Chains A and B, each alone.
With several copies, the nearest count.
Chain A
Amino acid sequence: MDKIINTADNYVNEMLDGLLAWDKRLARDDRAVFLRRSSRPNKVGIVSGGGSGHFPLFVGYTAPGLIDACAVGDVFAGPSVDSCMRAIKSADQGQGILLLYGNYGGDKMNFDLASEMLEMDGIRCKTLLGTDDIASAGPQEADKRRGVAGLVLLYKIAGALADEGADLDHVHAVTAAAADHCRTIGVALSSCTLPGRDAPSFDLAAGEIEMGMGIHGEPGIWRDKLKSADALADEMVDRLLADPVAQPTNRVALMLNTLGATPVEELLIMYRRISVLLEQRGITIAVPMIGPFTSSMDMGGVSLTLMYLDDAREAALRAPSDCRYWNLGS
């Protein structure tokens, strides 16, 4: 699809300029975006980062109660080592930094390099990787799974704990437990197009969908004819619930996310079914979130995220925050 841009090479920088013109709470150090004022003094910093093209992930969650700083990469590319360093520095208040981002090779290389270099300056970083995409590897290789929309829930949990004054180890531990209880599966209906390219990133014929495809078009589980909303909901819920977690509970946070071109109305049609399916299994959707949380530009499709809740996680998800893209509504 056509794009409203000036040049592909300026896509990210101009996007950030616009974001900062809009949200006066944010400041920018090259490709690192951070909150001008911390939500509290002496807190653990929460830093994320990743490629552009997934707005509001990652940078849109730089907001009081979520992440403090974000390293912003080119479209679908990792953030540079330099921007990782700048993001970490800008969030540092001497209490250490939780690096919270998706499990992608390049991103990991860059954050690792950056944090090692900053360790020499005495900044202590702990890393937690989002690995919620169950389609990207089996349960035995759960550490190879990519991070997708579930990261947003982790932001909120880590941010809430840091705002309460928890130390780095505690923030890390609670968020890591949350990550262990968070699962996502996506389905793609059509490809996105990268800025400056004239062809879509991948081929997906009309009437054809791919279950489990990643947010950059990584291959999924199966590719076949489009199914009904109910059939998709059934399969996605089944796959999520079948994936083992250490301590399943009967209260969940649910995030039903559009990848871009799929309208929210279609999410609502799916939610109608999903809410019934979970009820039938005795699971309460304590925190239902429906909308655009993690995109792939104009890709068509949706992702469904479940996080099993305990009291700590639920409280953290409900803690105050001030982010346009985090809105529990009622």
Chain B
Amino acid sequence: MSIDTQILRVALRRAALATRLAEDQLNKADARLGDGDTGETMRRLFGALNNEMPEYSDDIGGFFAELAKICARSTGSSLGTLVTVSMMVMAKQTKGQTVIEWTDLSPLLLLVRDQMMARGKANLGDKTVIDMLDGVATALVNCDNAADAAARSRQACTTTLDLFRDRENRIGRARMFAKKTIGQDDPGMLALSCLIDALSGDTNIQASSHA
């Protein structure tokens, strides 16, 4: 089975639920280094995506394009805008497709990563959400099924968080706290890890998060 809009819709519902549950944890992580709003940012953004979920259609590119528009309207935070960028890249890359093969996921995410770097003026190693995306995208190279993708990306999250924890943040608000960031997880990395945790759960369980 490959990825279709049906799976993506379920994923969005899960993401909305996950960010709601993780709001406090992410705010706290951001409060230690930044302005304490990563959780709120993510909860609002995925809440909006979920609430304004586009009508069903099997056009993946169109689906991402709609999501990109919702993002562009709903968020102004750095991390939120990077999510917007990711939606835009996905929309462009999957234009005309009704499925994404699992094996295509890694190259797609690497493209997203590059666009994010260009937009955010960030480099790999700056300890941002982009490093997490890089870890996950790299781990997914040649992965060809959902179960494997779930396992690999979860593993990548843990590894990447561990790898960066004791480094300094070099971008965003956290940059100014430099030394204080050592020993702390980057809130953007944590946010992506929460999302992946949620998305890589048992896909048979339909998240009932529309409330």
Q: Determine whether A and B are in direct contact in the complex, meaning some CB atoms lie less than 8 angstroms apart.
A: yes
Is the Cβ of B76 less than 8 Å from the Cβ of A80?
A: yes
- Give residues 71-86 of B contacting A (CB, 8 Å): 71-78, 80-82, 84-85
In the bound complex, residues from chain B placing their C-beta under 8 Å from that of A217 are 35
In the bound complex, residues from chain B placing their C-beta under 8 Å from that of A156 are none
- Give residues 174-221 of A contacting B (CB, 8 Å): 194, 196-197, 201, 216-219
B5 contacts the other chain (CB 8 A): no
- Give residues 230-278 of A contacting B (CB, 8 Å): none
Counting residue pairs across A and B whose Cβ atoms lie within 8 Å, the total is 79
A30 contacts the other chain (CB 8 A): yes
Q: How far does the alpha carbon of A79 sit from the alpha carbon of B76 in the complex, in Å? A: 5
In the bound complex, residues from chain A placing their C-beta under 8 Å from that of B172 are 105
Chain A residue nearest to B116 (CB atoms) is A109
Picked from B44, B81, B119, the residue with its CB within 8 Å of the CB of A78 is: B81
- Give residues 24-61 of B contacting A (CB, 8 Å): 35-37, 40-41, 44
Q: How far does the alpha carbon of A196 sit from the alpha carbon of B74 in the complex, in Å? A: 18
Is the Cβ of B73 less than 8 Å from the Cβ of A30?
A: yes
B92 contacts the other chain (CB 8 A): no
Is the Cβ of B78 less than 8 Å from the Cβ of A106?
A: yes
| Most chain B CB neighbours (cut-off 10 Å) among A110, A194, A197, A217 | A110
B171 contacts the other chain (CB 8 A): yes
Q: Whole-angstrom distance from the CB of A175 to the nearest CB of chain B? A: 23
B163 contacts the other chain (CB 8 A): no
Q: How far does the alpha carbon of A9 sit from the alpha carbon of B173 in the complex, in Å? A: 23
Chain B residue nearest to A51 (CB atoms) is B76
Q: How far does the alpha carbon of A118 sit from the alpha carbon of B85 in the complex, in Å? A: 16
B interface residues, tally (CB under 8 Å): 28
Picked from B72, B85, B176, the residue with its CB within 8 Å of the CB of A219 is: B176
- Sort chain A's interface into a size bin: 20 to 34
A82 contacts the other chain (CB 8 A): yes
Chain A residue nearest to B41 (CB atoms) is A77
- Give residues 173-195 of B contacting A (CB, 8 Å): 173, 176-177
Is the Cβ of B35 less than 8 Å from the Cβ of A109?
A: no
A95 contacts the other chain (CB 8 A): no
Picked from A74, A78, A82, A219, the residue with its CB within 8 Å of the CB of B73 is: A82
Question: Given A78-B78, A106-B80, A110-B76, 16 more contacts at CB 8 Å?
Answer: A9-B44, A30-B73, A51-B76, A74-B77, A76-B37, A77-B76, A78-B77, A79-B76, A80-B72, A81-B73, A83-B76, A105-B172, A136-B176, A194-B37, A196-B40, A201-B36
A-B contact pairs, 8 of them (CB 8 A): A78-B81, A81-B73, A85-B72, A106-B80, A109-B81, A109-B85, A113-B72, A113-B84
**Top 4 nearest A-B pairs by Cβ distance?**
A78-B76, A73-B76, A106-B78, A82-B73
